[in-house]
Structure 1
Amino acid sequence: MADRSPLLELAALFLTLGTVGFGGPQAHLAMMEEAVVQHRQWLTPEEFSEGVALCEMLPGPASTQMGIYIGYRRAGWLGGVVSGVCFIAPAFAIVVALAWAYFRFQTVPTVQDLFLGAAPAVTAIITAFCLRLSQRVLKEPLHWGLAIAALILTLSEAIPVFLVLVLAGAISWLWAKRSQAAWLPLLPAAIGPTDFWGWSQWPERSGPLFRFFLETGTFVFGGGLVIIPLLQQQVVQQWQWLTAQQFVDGVAIGQLSPGPVVLTAAFIGFAVAGLSGAATATFGIFLPSFLFILLAAPLLQRLRQNQGIQQFLRGVSPAVLGAIAATLWPLARPSLQSDQLSILLFSLLLFAGNLVALVRWKRPTWQVVLVGIGLGFAIGPLL
């Protein structure tokens, strides 16, 4: 039988990941690594780590950019566009549907029980990913030191993650040069849509909406929850597109959907100008990610054979591990600090079972997520 088109393969994979990709960017990266390195062998472990490092050092949502990067490596520029759009599309549809329900009924559906099992499942996915990554990148004491330092700096939020990665790469490069030099330099009023489609508001509001989200996607490093304070300041205080409570509810909807957290932009856009506003905001915030990756990926491929670049990337990879590991505590903390012993025990048992399923039985990550959500929905009301 003839091979499937690479574009169809990319579309099928990233539509699936975009549908079951609960848990934020680090969970997305873990799912992508399992799919394209472990299962399909589209990238080597080293190439995947280099791609993650590139995406973490660029502004915008890292997991979306990694999807674009994988698509580019598999099928060129068109592959990058297909994978990025397919990764975003399912969550966009879910956020728009929830935004419509929110502004129609002025409430957010109660889904606590549904997502009770999601956090342990996602924590297990990220833990398994860190275990696999550590076997590949922690090859000497320097790498251990860089990983631990990145873990501490990321947890403390002392400096942005992209600066942690740049510093780690620079230290690795300088360390490799130590035998060639005798010195080591010191490193220094709310609105809502009047109709679902929003055509009546779109001509007036599309310009400010697109410009704001284009600037946000271009200049904000870190993606995900990093952009939430900026959005709150501009959307609530300056533009007054949402009330403070509507903004909080919009962030919650963005987090409850699969795919990138920055799809909170779709909720804001829907509030401003219905479906057309949601599409405008989403296009604006993700356009820089497509441009950055499709321009930077070819450059990385040309430079990766350079010895200095290789030394830099060898330092970045352990720092990526440390930064990803730092997300485990914030994710697990709500369950571990629960006042209810039953919820704590349920979370610990589900985490352990998921970790065994991933590491020992090699189960796909999407199965782990769906089982976790299903168990949370079934058992949650009893806890």
Structure 2
Amino acid sequence: MPATRPITGRPTSRRCEMNKPRYPTLMEATRIWARIGLLSFGGPAGQIAMMHRILVEEQKWLGEKRFLHALNYCMLLPGPEAQQLAVYIGWLMHRTLGGIIAGVLFVLPGVVAIMGLSWIYAIWGNVGIVEALFFGLKAAVLAIVVQAVIRIGSRALKNAAMLAIAAAAFIAIFAFGVPFPLIILAAGLIGFIGSRANIPAFRDGGGHGKVGSVQVADADTLLGEESPEHTRVNRGWALRISAVLLGMWLIPVALLFLLLGPANVFSQIAGFFSTMAVVTFGGAYAVLAYVAQEAVQHYGWLAPGEMLDGLGMAETTPGPLIMVTQFVGFMGALREAGGLSPLLAGTLGGLLTTWVTFTPCFLWIFLGAPFIERLRDNHQLTAALTAITAAVVGVILNLAVWFGLHLVFGEMRVFTGLGMQVNVPVPGSINPASALLTLAALVAMLQFRVGIFKVLIGSAAAGILLYLSGLGGI
């Protein structure tokens, strides 16, 4: 009888090898990332749940723990966490090239779709039926933002301290116009100090919880619990990749400022959205509050209603919701084209916005992923992020109020006093059709749990029907 191998160390049976998940080839992974990019509707929660279903449950390329570990890191970063999660997993499986392929394919369908819709909007946006379609979309978008306030608030505001931070953030941005980055900085500092002082409300941090349908499980991860060799900390590689990505990101920005001057619209777009890429913690809706505050009120690149139109485009196309910034850059450059053709200027402005928005995402992953392992159990960092999440609830509430006032009312008056500057609606300027359509979208989402895509399609159809029937002030 042949000798039997002792059962020690790693299992070596054929059954174990057959059941063990495997990494795909780069070509197999590319096909799957293309599929994920085309299916990435529904905002970050839906996108993350979809990636989990395809990569963990369907393809079995990596396990639950490895997926959640990557997700937890991406949720610490500024920028779109779903796209960064794709970069992280692509890097985990196929090094830098895999991360680049995954990240690019995740956003490419959205880039193409938003650019096409931006052209349609610029050329035919004043055509009645197109205006009616976007009129309906705006109501659905407002309902989506309100749902985001409720969803994130129910998860983040677990005690009186978090409620107070959210309320203070709302008042600061709505009444006093405090810039979004300062609010985030102050909230993070409060959380950090609260944890250091061992205040009960900040003691346990609280974390981020689950996203979408992703649940914590103890499934075996690919290659056991070990990380591939290329994921180990390599300071030389980190410096090299950081230098390359920083150059790709910031050298074009510096050249625009030097050649065109800081007052040029392309320099302003590059500078503003580069800043946004660094400070936009809290997800897409928090980012939109910052973009609306600056792009609409400060730079005057587009009107409040047009901001809602752009958000409607982003909600109905694949890719991260933050792709709405491409529309903002398109419209800003379109209207300040200088000697260029307006559509050419808009196209260049939109692509520039996308470049400076998403290039930093690759930097955060390639530089930070190997190092972040050491910070997983840092309680002060967790408390700071929890306080930031609470502040983000207040910021998103401001976005909902701001959108709602400009959608439902046609006229505003500015109240000033005690350092405040608040827009107050004129009751007689209410648009009944807009108010009713918004209410219907809210009821559909909050009461009957109708999905985002169905509400968007239904609201757009309702807007067109109102236009064709001659009803509603479209």
Give the TM-score range, shorter chain. 0.5 to 0.7
Q: 1:224·1:260 contact (CA, 8 Å) conserved in 2?
A: no
Residue by residue, what CA displacement relative to the aligned partner does 1:53-103 show, whole Å, maximum 9, x if unpaired? 632xxxxxx5xx44532432442332222223333221112213443x36x
Among candidates 291, 305, 310, match of residue 224 of structure 1: 291
Structure 2 residue aligned with 1:167: 186
Structure 2 vs 1, CA of residues 318 and 269 (structure 1 numbering), >3 Å: closer, same or farther? closer
Counterpart in the other structure of 2:363: 295
CA distance 1:45–1:224, shift in 2 (3 Å): farther
Residue 356 (str. 1) matches residue 438 (str. 2): no
> Is 1:318 matched with 2:390?
yes
Equivalent runs, 1:193-232 vs 2, <5 Å: 208=260, 213-219=269-275, 224-225=291-292, 226-228=294-296, 231-232=299-300
Change (3 A) 1:170 1:15: same
Structure 1 match to 2:381:
309
Alignment TM-score, normalising by the size of structure 1: 0.67
**1:54 partner SS:** coil
Partner in structure 2 of residue 373 of structure 1: 460
1:263 maps onto 2:317 in alignment: no
Distance change >3 Å, CA 50–CA 370, structure 1 → 2? farther
Q: Is the 8 A contact 2:40 2:50 kept in 1?
A: no
- Match of 2:46? 34
4+ runs deviating over 6 angstroms: 41-50, 247-250
**2:70–2:88: 8 Å Cα contact kept in structure 1?**
no
Give the Cα–Cα distance (whole angstroms) in 2 for the partners of residues 120 and 366 of structure 1: 13
Larger C-alpha radius of gyration, 1 or 2? 2
Shift of 1:40: 4.2
Deviations 1:214-252 (A, max 9, x none): 3343245656332345655xx9xxxxxxxxxxx769967
Contact 1:147 1:320 in 2 (8 A): yes
Q: Residues of 1 paired with 2:312 and 2:144: CA distance?
A: 17
Q: Which residue matches 2:435?
A: 344
Gap change, CA 1:34 and 1:124, over 3 Å in 2: farther
Cα separation, 2, equivalents of 1:156 and 1:49:
33
In structure 2, do the counterparts of structure 1 residues 327 and 269 end up closer, same or farther at CA, with 3 Å as the change threshold? closer
**Aligned partner letter, 1:309:** L
Question: Matched residues in 1 for 2:112 and 2:437: separation?
Answer: 33
Aligned length: 315
Farther off after superposition, 142-151 or 121-130: 121-130
C-alpha change, 1:117 and 1:366, in structure 2 (3 Å) is same
User: 1:88 aligned to 107, 111, 125, which one?
Assistant: 111
Partner Cα distance (2:135, 2:306) in 1: 18
Letter of the 1:355 partner, please give it.
Answer: L
1:331 aligns with 2:403: yes
CA separation in 1, counterparts of 2:75 and 2:176? 20
Q: Deviations over 1:285-331 (max 9, x none)?
A: 22222232222245274444323211211211111222112211122
Contact 1:15 1:90 in 2 (8 A): no
The within-5 A match list for 1:148-159 is 148-159=167-178
Distance across 2 between alignment mates of 1:340 and 1:287: 38
Offset at residue 108 of structure 1 (A): 2.9
Output the aligned Cα RMSD.
3.9
Q: Secondary structure at the match of 1:114?
A: helix
Residue 90 (structure 2) aligns with: 75
SS in 1 for 2:377: coil
Cα deviation, residue 348, structure 1: 1.8
Gaps of 5+ in 1: 19-29, 56-61, 181-206, 236-246
> Which deviates the most, 159-168 or 111-120?
111-120
**How far does residue 47 in structure 1 lie from its aligned partner after superposition?**
7.9
Q: Are 1:115 and 1:373, in contact at CA under 8 Å, matched by a contact in 2?
A: yes
Q: Is the 8 A contact 2:157 2:163 kept in 1?
A: yes
- How far did residue 146 of structure 1 move? 1.4
Maintained 8 Å contact 1:146/1:315: yes
Instruction: Tell me the TM-score normalised to structure 2 length.
Output: 0.55
